[in-house]
Structure 1
Amino acid sequence: MHLMYRFLENQKPEDLSRALWRHKVGHRIVSNNGNLELWLVDDNDALVAEQLIRSFELGMEELATSQNKEAPEANFPNTTSPTRSFTIASLWLLFKLYPIVFSTVVITLCVCLITQLGDNYVFLGWFTITPLIIENNYLYSKPLSEMNESHAYWRLLTPVFLHFSIMHLVFNLLWIWEIGRKLEKLIGSILWSVGFIIIGVASNIFQYWDTQSPLFGGLSGVVYGCIGFAWVIVYVNPNWPSLINKGLMVFFLVWLGIGYTDIPESLGLGNMANTAHLVGLVSGSLLAVVYGLLSKNRTRRA
């Protein structure tokens, strides 16, 4: 047995204990010098216990900022409840809970406002993978090879913040918030940000190589990366909670296939960055394999 968690005074251990028993995690809650502590029976259950503890802590922090007196469930709280007023305090709480995902949403909204959803080519050129040049009402772009001379390596990532329609923007922000925030809470903000950069850069580079045009963008590649990670990780490490169901995975795969047809353009969605979607899905799945194997090895050594 080893110490896994020490409860705060306002935390009810019964809620976490019920969640642990539902996942068949053997444990004991003992009192030590007036403090309640959680001890695991089997060290192999450390990973799933850690995930449930994070969800439990998240629920307690949500409870402390609301008027809901019911005991929190050991699950992801609904931080987007329409009954919550978005005050400065509640926004600050969201930032503390999901700093990378929250910052991504804010940056994306600001970029879309600045670029007017891609209509302002002057500002759009600040974020495209290669600079845009407007001469005599013609639009030109520099080759990707010139990036080494200007050292503007940030352009490899910034296209993820570009969006070209309200539907495009809302769809991506919805899924990056729904899936991305859960992944950030499970693997931590630092690792999530590393994964975000890897998936975003890979998607942008391959999309540019495929089309040879800088006029693309969006969080879709990262969204598909999150979907791929969440789907594959449970096969690599069965102790992981399932974040998406089979129906949702089928939807994203079907939508990926539709992107290669003329249907999106006929619906007014324009040409889709299909390569970015596919590369995002593959890179997210590969990251899940790497992370899953490393986390299993770390659990065995603990």
Structure 2
Amino acid sequence: MSPVIALRAPLDEDLGPFISLLARLGVPHRVAEQGNEQVLWVPNDEIAGQVRELYARAPQGDPNLQPLRAPVTSSRPGIAAQARRSPLTLVVLALTLLVAVLTWGGEEYDVVRWLSFVDFHIEGQYIYFGTFAQALDSGQWWRLLTPMLLHFGILHLTMNSLWYWELGRRIEARQGALMLLLLTLWFGLAANVAQYVYAGPALFGGLSGVLYGLLGHCWLFQLLAPNTAYKLPRGVLVSMLIWLLICMTGVFELLQFGAIANAAHVGGLVAGCLSGLIGGLLARQFARR
């Protein structure tokens, strides 16, 4: 459920006593400055109604005031509850797992070749790639997106799945399943095309580009239109950006740990920052109305 605005107040109004009252009553809330106003956010419409009624009774707080109903408590929903609220996130993860099984973790090349960005065939110890123009001539448009479902090894699959679960369900809760689907496809397309344009025909895949898109989307959206769903711990953002920079140095290729699709990561991040910028600006405009 998305956070909602319960109150708006001028910047020169002292909300301190009322905020203290909310804290004493156990009402989860967050105050942010938007334009020339103070905006009070709460988790849902039910709590927002209570807060407005409470504000009408005691705008300056009241140490003797009792809550209108039973005190509102905030608890983190369990995994099952989160799963019920995130069906699209689960569908994407299920498709990723299915592809991992069908490709045997990226080792069943007869299946992988149908999902990679370009077709290829193996002769002896050599792999020969076609071009994307050849794929388009054959009507194989799905190759623009399907590499994001490919993973090579259990660690690759596990890490990307965990991060998609963490970031995807935030967007699904805040902006809905359809928006998460559109963003996932957009980030996957941007990441795959960026990698192909930068590195040429090659075998690459994974949700990593999409994940950097989700990260950039939450980051810019939160900066422009603060909300609890997209408020990531600072360490998460910093660590993922540092990891991106480390990968771009080429150290993993030098240590023979395998090639990293850095262009896909950058392409996804840029696409995510763009969508977050647009979404955040629109959300800010709607909040002012």
TM-score range, shorter chain: 0.7 to 0.9
Matching residue within 27, 31, 44 for 1:53: 44
Aligned to 2:18: none
Unaligned runs of 5+ in 1: 6-13, 26-42, 57-70, 80-89
Residues 55 and 76 in structure 1, CA contact (< 8 A), matched pair in contact too: no
Q: Which amino acid aligns with 1:107?
A: L
Shift of 1:210: 1.2
What TM-score comes out, normalization by structure 1 length?
A: 0.70
Aligned to 1:212: 200
C-alpha change, 1:179 and 1:101, in structure 2 (3 Å) is same
Shift of 1:243: 2.9
Q: 1:259 aligns to what SS in structure 2?
A: helix
Q: Which amino acid aligns with 1:148?
A: L
Measure, in 1, the Cα distance between the counterparts of 2:97 and 2:235.
Answer: 29
Shift of 1:296: 2.4
| Residues 195-233 of structure 1, C-alpha deviations (whole Å, 9 max, x = no match) | 111110000011011111230000001111111111111
Q: 1:216 aligns to what SS in structure 2?
A: coil
Measure, in 1, the Cα distance between the counterparts of 2:213 and 2:73.
Answer: 28
Matching residue within 147, 168, 173 for 2:156: 168
Aligned to 1:77: 77
Q: 2:178 aligns to what SS in structure 1?
A: helix
Matching residue within 15, 18, 30 for 1:23: 30
Within 5 Å, which residues of 2 pair with 1:123-162?
123-134=111-122, 138-162=126-150
Aligned CA RMSD, in angstroms, stands at: 3.2
- 1:234 paired with 2:222, answer yes
Measure, in 1, the Cα distance between the counterparts of 2:265 and 2:177.
Answer: 23
164-173 or 239-248: bigger deviation? 239-248
Q: 2:248 aligns to what SS in structure 1?
A: coil
Within 5 Å, which residues of 2 pair with 1:1-302?
19=27, 22-24=29-31, 48=41, 52-53=43-44, 74=74, 77-79=77-79, 96-134=84-122, 138-239=126-227, 241-265=229-253, 269-301=257-289
- Which protein shows a greater Rg? 2
C-alpha change, 1:267 and 1:113, in structure 2 (3 Å) is farther
Unaligned runs of 5+ in 2: 6-21, 48-70
| Residues 144-197 of structure 1, C-alpha deviations (whole Å, 9 max, x = no match) | 112332222111110001111221111111111111111111110001111111
Residues 55 and 75 in structure 1, CA contact (< 8 A), matched pair in contact too: no
Q: 1:124 aligns to what SS in structure 2?
A: helix
What TM-score comes out, normalization by structure 2 length?
A: 0.73
Shift of 1:18: 5.1
Measure, in 1, the Cα distance between the counterparts of 2:72 and 2:266.
Answer: 38
| Residues 38-84 of structure 1, C-alpha deviations (whole Å, 9 max, x = no match) | xxxxx9969x45xx22899xxxxxxxxxxxxxx995465241xxxxx
Measure, in 2, the Cα distance between the counterparts of 1:205 and 1:95.
Answer: 31
